[in-house]
Structure 1
Amino acid sequence: MNRDILNKAAEQGVISQQQVTPLLEFIQCYDETETEVTDPAHAEEQLKFIRNFGDIFITLGIAFVAVSISAMDLSGLLWLIPTGLFLLTSEWLVRARRLALPGIALLISTLFFVSRALGIEEFGNSSLQFLTLSLCSLLYYLRYRMPFSLMPTAAGIVAAIISQFGVDMVAHQYLFSLLGGAVFAVAMAFDARDRNRSQRYSDCAFWLHLLASPLIVHGMMTSILFSDSQLLSSGLFKEIGLLIFFLIFMLTALLVDRRAMLVSSLAYAIYAIFQVVENSPLEAENLPLFVFIGFGIFIVFFGTYWYKARSLIFGGLKASRLARYLPYI
């Protein structure tokens, strides 16, 4: 339902002109799936990049074309030919028809063809190329205002910095955390501008959170796992440290109301649990299965009562300054 339809209804005498605005506001804040008015403190992370199966169907077509072209024997600047064709397609599907999921496929394909034209071969010597890809993604965002574009924009900058220090993911674990923290800060800046989760800013933050989370988690988890500290090297302190970090990370995700953040930390949390279980005096033939079952049950219940837990744990922050930058508690 949009304003044009309501204006036509007013012109035909179905409703009065004075009822158009309040009726439109009511419809916009009404959750049809719940059949009740949506509480701003329960604004879900909507997957706005897909509307129907038609989007998937078009995306599959784009994928088939992109994969076929990538198998061609092209070299150098010839890769810019399919780049131009995909940009023209973006004008049609993204700018004119506003199709988000096909737009994601088009951008990824375009960046792939540009990377082939740039001749990226070794990660450690490709800082300038990564920055070029980042600039391409930024230009794509400025042209089409597609939130996903910010993710490869940030990823290109992160890759360029990491390539300067080396690809060793253990030797520079703190760098991953710092870069992840920077991306997280940018994501929160977007979130703070859209506390109702109803505008494009929230979608931008969603994709940036998906990038920031694995960077932060990898940096912190590897710092704990490969620490030379005598305290962490004794007993189960490393595994306990992993679980404590996961708990803190989980509470952070709950505070900023981003369940997507937890996905990247689950693998490390499962690893920590298995390490604790293996060193436990408790023995059972199907113990790994019970661990997975327990973890699955935890995810189901935590996901189901997400907002109740958020309100219970952080309800006291409603009147604080911090709450001004967070989704409604």
Structure 2
Amino acid sequence: MTPEDLRAAVAAGIIDEAQAARLRVLAEGRAGTRAVMPAEDEPFEFFRGFSEIFISIGLVILLSGVTAMLSWFGGFALLTLVPLIAAGVAWWWARYFTLKRRMTLPSMVLASAFGGGVAIFFATALSEMAISVRAVGVLTFVLTAAALAGWYRRFRLPFTAALIGISLLLAIYAATTSFEDVVMGDWGWRGMFDLSENPIFASSTLVFGVGAFLAGMWFDTRDPHRLGRHAATAFWCHLLAAPALVNTVAVSLLNSGGGMALMALALLVITVLALVIDRRSFLTAAIAYIALVLAWFAGDDGDYGRWVFILMTLGALITAIGTWWVQLRAFVMKALPEFPGKSRLPPYARPE
């Protein structure tokens, strides 16, 4: 059986992730671990065919139509409930598209519609209460994250982890800053994520990044062979963690006057960490964000030659790491001493 067969069996509910992993280990043990392991593989599935794209477009239009119809026929009381009703419709349809058809992209659309509907309902209902705007923002996103956690428990959709993470991040931001601070603050956009200029807001981003990373590792260590939903959930956690971590670190380092040297050191640490956990997605998000941060700081005064150097360096780095990922990871993992959890990370090449 191929890894794709095992993933299909897990998705169909024939076996669970633990059983799939044991089958994989048994097969690898008989044939030789490295001989049968797809070394270049980091499973990720956004959609399984154009039919899912077609159905997703239809669902977006249909949900928009349902919302418009409810808004047209309903009074003020019903208008308040329209987002919640739309979220309920998304839950109803997910029972078919997610549980029965097991379609990836339509399930993501329905989960997003559910989260958006719940968030709008809570924001509308809480704004009618005698509480501050900050409290409305925090409660809205915390309750939305809780509702999405219920969605994940019911439908086991890995993408839900991204929606939960975004909701929690927005809740943290709502608690640590305000719209006026962002628009009219003296520290500006670059200072928002600087630990020295705005420690509360910047630290909250850093704490979120650490939390998302630890959540990703929790899921990863439960599915080191990347066969089931735990690994797919970890993918979304790492995709959120990388920008959040780099956000504060990159801006703080550049503002401190360390410049490119410290940025290069930070990128090296991130690269080694990505190799250890075997997550190209983590490194991809980090490198993309570092390029964005550099663009912010260069602004319109950036030297053309400097930008050519940055682009060529980043491009060469990504290409080289992607090409020799397996060899680099084997070197790093062999060089590292034994540490707790090392045996629960994805297997790596062990050249004779």
Distance (whole Å) between structure 1 residues aligned to residue 120 and residue 294 of structure 2: 42
Higher gyration radius (CA) = 1
Structure 1 residue 257, shift from structure 2 partner: 0.7
Distance (whole Å) between structure 1 residues aligned to residue 96 and residue 163 of structure 2: 22
Q: Is contact 1:243-1:269 (8 Å) kept?
A: no
Paired position in structure 2 for 1:132: 143
Q: Residue by residue, what CA displacement relative to the aligned partner does 1:130-150 show, whole Å, maximum 9, x if unpaired?
A: 111111111111111111112
Q: 2:93 aligns with which of 75, 89, 114?
A: 89
Q: Residue by residue, what CA displacement relative to the aligned partner does 1:79-98 show, whole Å, maximum 9, x if unpaired?
A: 22222222211111011111
Q: Is contact 2:274-2:282 (8 Å) kept?
A: yes
Does 2:303 match 1:305?
Answer: no
The 10-residue stretch of structure 1 (209-218 or 308-317) with the greater mean CA deviation from structure 2: 308-317
Q: Is contact 2:123-2:136 (8 Å) kept?
A: no
Q: Is contact 1:187-1:205 (8 Å) kept?
A: yes
Distance (whole Å) between structure 2 residues aligned to residue 106 and residue 88 of structure 1: 10
Alignment of 1:167-316 (within 5 A): 167=178, 169-170=192-193, 171=198, 172-226=201-255, 232-233=256-257, 237-270=258-291, 288-289=307-308, 291-316=310-335
The size of the alignment, in residue pairs, is: 291
Report sequence identity in percent: 25
Q: 2:81 aligns with which of 77, 83, 94?
A: 77
AA aligned to 1:54 is: S
Q: Mark the runs of 5 or more structure 1 residues left unpaired by the alignment.
A: 4-23, 31-35, 227-231
Seen in structure 2, the aligned counterparts of structure 1 residues 308 and 273 have a Cα distance that, compared at 3 Å, is: farther
Distance (whole Å) between structure 1 residues aligned to residue 86 and residue 44 of structure 2: 29
Seen in structure 2, the aligned counterparts of structure 1 residues 217 and 127 have a Cα distance that, compared at 3 Å, is: same
Seen in structure 2, the aligned counterparts of structure 1 residues 279 and 59 have a Cα distance that, compared at 3 Å, is: closer
Does 2:191 match 1:162?
Answer: no
Compute the RMSD of aligned alpha carbons: 3.3
Distance (whole Å) between structure 2 residues aligned to residue 294 and residue 265 of structure 1: 15
Q: 1:99 aligns with which of 91, 96, 103?
A: 103
Distance (whole Å) between structure 2 residues aligned to residue 254 and residue 166 of structure 1: 35
Query: Under a length normalisation based on structure 1, what TM-score does the superposition of the two structures give?
Result: 0.76
| SS of residue matched to 1:126 | helix
Query: Under a length normalisation based on structure 2, what TM-score does the superposition of the two structures give?
Result: 0.72
Seen in structure 2, the aligned counterparts of structure 1 residues 213 and 199 have a Cα distance that, compared at 3 Å, is: same
Paired position in structure 2 for 1:50: 47
The 10-residue stretch of structure 1 (61-70 or 305-314) with the greater mean CA deviation from structure 2: 61-70
AA aligned to 1:116 is: I
Q: Is contact 2:67-2:86 (8 Å) kept?
A: no
